[in-house]
Amino acid sequence: MKISLFLRLTFGLGIAIFIFASALRASLDEILAPLPVAEVASVSNRKIQSVQPVKSLRSVSTMQSLLESAPPAEEEAYRADAILASDVQQAITNELASHLRIAGDLTLVALRDLPDLSGYSQPFLVQLNNAPTSLSRGNLLLRFQVENEKGVLGEWTVPFRAHLFSEVWYPRAQLRRGELASPSDFESRAVDLLAEPNAVPAQLESLLRHEYARDIRPGKALVWSDLAERALVRKGDVVEVSAVTGLLAITMRAVAREDGSDGDLIVLRNIDSSKEFSARVIGESRVEVIF
């Protein structure tokens, strides 16, 4: 009885061990079995897509090849002796400046394209067919023709805007009426004289024998109305009077009744007789009477 029971237990335990081993082997086979083809392909694709540097390097390589194969930007090439538009404009400017005999730096800005004469060779000449008598602010219409060794190349009418730059006087500080004009009172600045037509050019001659006609503030260009010719004779001054008649010259003294600059005719009073007479200013505290 005991042996029969022992055999049963042994047989049952063997069956259980066999079933457990079979299940364990099946699980191990599933674990070690190769992945399905579709999943492997999917995982492979995801890995390839995640390798960004490869894609970036391909893009850079492609861009470099495109840049290397791209044609260079086109540049207009002219012969060394070709007549360029800038040459024509400068020649027109020089011709106008010579015609008007102006002082300063004349600049012309073409408001329309100049003719293309790059197919012709230098040297060339520009002739103005309607030059103005003076310059003013605003547009300027010029008619001109160009010629070279082949003859007249054509005639054109082109609008220009003119600028005339020159150095003018600018006060450094407040200037008082009646003070003698001096270059040390000013600094020079470049302005467009067509925009400031009354500005005084920065030349020593423009200040000689001048005084300030009114109080002048700094920051604005000095204009001609700010200056008055310096009075060589002041009202109340005792001046020397030369009376000339033929070969006879008489000198006397008189009192000026008004201010006078060089060449001005002023009224004086005789010191002895108190009679008034007129004489012309000829110098510092000097006048002359001509009979």
Per-residue three-class SS string for 186-218: EEEEEEECCCCCCECECCHHHCCCEEECCCECC
Instruction: Classify residue 76: in a domain, yes or no.
Output: no
Beta-carbon contacts of residue 59 (< 8 Å; ≥ 6 apart): none
One domain, residues 175 and 155 = no
| pTM score of the predicted model | 0.56
Last residue of a domain, one of 164, 186, 203: 164
Phi (first) and psi of residue 104, to 5 degrees: 125, 180
One domain, residues 193 and 262 = no
Task: Determine the structural domain holding residue 98 and report its residue range.
Answer: 85-164
**What CATH number is given to the structural domain containing 219?**
3.90.1210.10
Instruction: Classify residue 149: in a domain, yes or no.
Output: yes
Residues 91, 105: Cα–Cα separation, whole Å:
14
Nearest one of 195, 266, 260, 253 to 231, comparing CA atoms: 260
One domain, residues 154 and 114 = yes
One domain, residues 285 and 264 = yes
One domain, residues 139 and 172 = no
Residues 2, 176: Cα–Cα separation, whole Å:
147
| pLDDT digits (tens), the chain, 291 positions | 545 555 566 666 666 565 555 554 545 445 444 544 444 344 344 443 444 443 443 443 444 444 344 444 433 567 788 889 999 999 999 999 999 998 889 999 999 999 988 888 889 999 999 888 888 888 899 999 999 888 999 999 999 999 999 999 999 999 999 899 999 999 999 999 999 999 999 998 889 889 999 999 998 999 999 999 888 898 999 999 998 887 888 899 999 999 988 889 999 999 988 999 999 999 889 999 976
Instruction: Classify residue 71: in a domain, yes or no.
Output: no
Question: Which residues are registered as beta bridge partners of 146?
Answer: 126, 154
Nearest one of 137, 122, 119, 129 to 95, comparing CA atoms: 129
Instruction: Classify residue 94: in a domain, yes or no.
Output: yes
| Contact indicator for 278, 266 with CB cutoff of 8 Å | yes
- Please state the domain count of the chain: 4
One domain, residues 160 and 89 = yes
Residues 114, 116: Cα–Cα separation, whole Å:
6
One domain, residues 143 and 214 = no
